[in-house]
Amino acid sequence: MKTPSQDKDENNSDLTPEELLRKKNREAAQRYRARDPERHRRRMQEWREANRERARELSRGWRNRKLAEGTPEEVERIRQMERDKTKRNQVKLRDDVFGAYGGYVCACCGETEPKFLSIDHINNDGGKERRSGLYHSSGAAFYLWLRKSAFPPGYQVLCMNCQVGKHRNGGVCPHQCKA
């Protein structure tokens, strides 16, 4: 019967001294993370904020290696994780923008279905803004520009019916003409 140290030596016998040191360091790091995962998470977050470019570079390198060397299942898993993260970020961005402009409620008719709502340019100058290059397109790029610009005035939440009605009625929603 083998002792644990003999078994350990057998498992590591084919490793070079560098690989053995790397393996021991990985194991020590795992023990450290297991002892206080919250502290580790905070330290890593602080490091990433202080070393933003290096963190991005490492992340891109890891992703590119995994995509190049991974099995089709791993590649699909990574792609799915990326799609999920993008979706979460877009939902949060949309919530932030709509929250800043009064929430998911049409300023004209009171519609509350989020799928019907959009951000309207109060002065009807959205086309001019896009052509001027303030932001590159509509949707997520526009919402991102609004957040980066600290949610400037001049925008409101309207449902698509009021948005189109306002466009076709010379800048005034048909609901407002009836009132």
- 101 shares its domain with 164: yes
Q: Are strands 117-121 and 155-159 parallel, antiparallel or unpaired?
A: antiparallel
Q: Is the pLDDT of residue 68 over 90?
A: yes
- 172 shares its domain with 110: yes
Q: What is the mean pLDDT of residues 135-154?
A: 89
The predicted model scores a pTM of: 0.70
pLDDT of residue 100: 97
The answer to whether residue 78 sits within a structural domain is no
Domains: count for the chain: 2
